[in-house]
Amino acid sequence: MRNSILFPLPGNETLAAVLAEKLKLEKGLAEFHEFPDGECHLRVETDVENKFVIIVCTLDHPNIKFLSLIFLAETLRELGAKKICLVAPYLPYMRQDKHFKSGDALTSAIFAKLLSGSIDQLITIDPHLHRIHELSEIYSIPSLKTLHASKKIAEWILDNVNSPFILGPDAESEQWVNEVAGHSKAPYAIIKKNRRGDNFVEVKLPDLKDHNKTMILVDDIISTGATMLAVLEQLKAQGFKNIICIGVHALFSKETYENLLYSGATRVVTCNAIPHFSNAIDLTELIEAEIKNTIID
């Protein structure tokens, strides 16, 4: 990939370094500086003329990351970059995909429109596709690639758990829970969930009976933890002792991780789509393979 160059946004250096090494990609240098008033200055130090540029930026906490990302992408284009590919393992704002109440901002579509204006290719992992079935329904980026963590999660389960039973906490989780269960050859069930507020979730569990199983909750996102906490409570009430929580995207608001352990999870495991000390499932290989597949120069 002689004509490709990779730029991490601050906070994405680890993933970028591994990708650069594995793919033998040149690393670009961009200096970010925050002025005392909170505005941002950016200078691209590497020649990008006619280069295929890969920006690595996972987009948890998007409100503070987004402007830097757009400043970088637009500056790279101005400097002559041939194409700009964004590797964003976590793609935000996918959950606000309908007007729940009149006057609600449709942030999934607005965010998609804003991002689509600045990049040519997007590689992401398990975006929260619910009422939107394909990213192309809202993103107009010419090349969109969605990768899936299910096989890697299943490999982790096969290596670490005897007698697993997979639980999906809501209807939309069936798409990835079904895959994880298939790859790990484990039985699964999907729970009914009602979210009443940021921190208030109601779930209805079937009677799961076999208490010798290790229950594994699998969700795409763990944020407040309210979803998993509600399930944990009912599993404990049914007498289950071994319960593992697995999330693809460790959004974790304050104390979520500790609350899950305190409330009965024997382990909380996440993928490295968002850096966190609970990351135990490495998705770098998926991204590496996709870059190899699609970026030919």
From residue 285, alpha-carbon distances to 38, 236, 291 in Å are 36, 36, 10
Which residues, at least 6 apart from 54, have a Cβ–Cβ distance to it below 8 Å? 4, 5, 6, 7, 19, 25, 85, 86, 87, 291, 295
Candidates 146-154, 160-168, 170-178, 261-269; binding stretch for ligand R5P (CB under 6 A):
170-178
Q: Considering only residues 170, 243, 244, 272, which one is a binding residue for ligand R5P as defined by CB under 6 A?
A: 170
Using CB under 6 A as the binding rule, whether residue 225 contacts ligand R5P is answered as yes
Letter for the amino acid at 114? Answer: L
**Nearest partner of 8 among 94, 68, 81, judged by Cα:** 68
Site string for ligand R5P, 95-124 (x = CB under 6 A): x-----------------------------
Exposed e or buried b for every residue in 76-87, given b needs 16+ CB within 10 A? bbeeebbbbbbb
Using CB under 6 A as the binding rule, whether residue 179 contacts ligand R5P is answered as no
Q: Which is nearer to ligand R5P, 227 or 242 (CB)?
A: 227
Residue 149: Cβ within 10 Å count = 27
Using CB under 6 A as the binding rule, whether residue 259 contacts ligand R5P is answered as no
Using CB under 6 A as the binding rule, whether residue 150 contacts ligand R5P is answered as no
Q: Which is nearer to ligand R5P, 46 or 178 (CB)?
A: 178
d(CA 56, CA 193): 34
Helix H or strand E encompassing 157:
helix 150-160
Q: Which of residues 126-145 bind ligand R5P (CB under 6 A)?
A: 128
Site string for ligand R5P, 51-90 (x = CB under 6 A): ----------------------------------------
What are residue 121's DSSP bridge partners?
85, 143
Candidates 164-172, 208-216, 265-273, 279-287; binding stretch for ligand R5P (CB under 6 A):
164-172
Binding site for ligand R5P (CB under 6 A): 95, 128, 169-170, 172-173, 201, 219-227
